[in-house]
Amino acid sequence: MSAASSPTSFRTESDGFFTNAEKEEFHYTVFAPSRTAPPPAETDGSVPVLLCVHGAGMSGDCFFRLARELQRRSEVSKDDQVSSPLPPPASSGKGLPPMSESASLAMEAVAEVRGDDMDMHILTYDMRCHGQSTFAGGENHLDMEVLMEDFLNFLRYAKEELFPNSHFFLLGHSLGGAVVARALSGNKAAQKRVSGFLMVDTVEGTAQMSLAHMSDYLKRRPSYFPAVDDAVAWFLHFGGMQSAQGAAVSVPPLLKQNPTTGQWHWRTDLHKMEAVWGGWFKGLDDAFVSLPCAKMLCTANAERLDKALTVAQMQGKFQFEVIGNGCGHYVMDDATATLAAKVRRFVKRNELLAQKLRYLNMTVPKDYLSTTTTAKPPN
């Protein structure tokens, strides 16, 4: 994130570029959980990663306020946190050993310590034809297959090169949610890299209805502005964003200045995407529900849930959260603290569950496992 893209400098951010096999560059930003955090590749895996994927026409900078809120909350209680290591695994015994009192207390301490204050690295990247990433191919060729391939390539790079030891949680907003869900669906190799997925204000039925009005919306949208502040004001009045603080951060990176006229134009031409956007959200509901990892759908209001996801949610196939309070589509900007709290709890709960499972695997004696797996059923 450049200094020009945000009025506030994030003290622990770092930018980079990922180059794919076609030599195309994709811009990404890493937000570390604290000033003392080690370089990404040197982390021991104790701090999970939240990879955020933005929607159409936006950029990775739209997660700036969410990342800042996650870091701010973790640093507030940093001095109060204590280390509560798990006890060593049992070394003998025929049956499954019960968890000792000290182990139970340790697990409770971990839950209490981490709670809503759980550290995490936040990683964002600009999609193709967005932000500072490559515009190769142009917006009119930005179909779902292209977006999924770009995402999978970056996920592989991030997991293998940036954070090889950390658990990955994914957060996708709008089109970003559809890209993640569709890319992971049926892809076992990619699924193994992911511990959980949060889909934000992305529902197949609702999105398809919104696309039907997209052309009219774009016709009313100015193609340029005399100043950046004019674009920010327009976004607040007509663009669907309700937070002035959020617009001041997320809107400027969407613009580029014409050096001849001095006018500010949109970096990404949404008009050119009309030929491909019809396929962006097809099959999204089924793809999301079928994912084997932990899942949470977070919407601005309950009315955005379509029939298919309503049925799946009633069957307990995913966690459903509603922001409410008049929040708009740009949840990360309009309800930053609320979304951050839900993200922390989701990641913490699943990280703690994974830790418990690792502990149980360590404490189950090998001879117990061998006898239970080879024992023959009674006649």
User: For 296, phi and psi rounded to 5 degrees?
Assistant: -140, 130
Helix/strand/coil for 183 = helix
Q: Rounded distance, CA 213 to CA 338, Å?
A: 29
- What is the DSSP code (8-state) at residue 285? H
Cα 196 to its chain centre, rounded Å, is 9
Whole-angstrom Cα distance, residue 174 to residue 127? 13
Work out the number of other CB atoms within 10 angstroms of the CB of residue 84.
15
How many CA atoms does the CB half-sphere of 96 hold within 13 Å? 6
CA pseudo-torsion sign 292, 293, 298, 302: positive
Judge contact between 94 and 216, C-beta under 8 A. no
Q: 210-219 long-range CB contacts below 8 Å, 24 or more apart? A: 211/277, 211/278, 211/280, 211/281, 214/270, 214/274, 214/277, 215/274, 218/270, 218/271
Give me the active site residues, please: 174, 201, 329
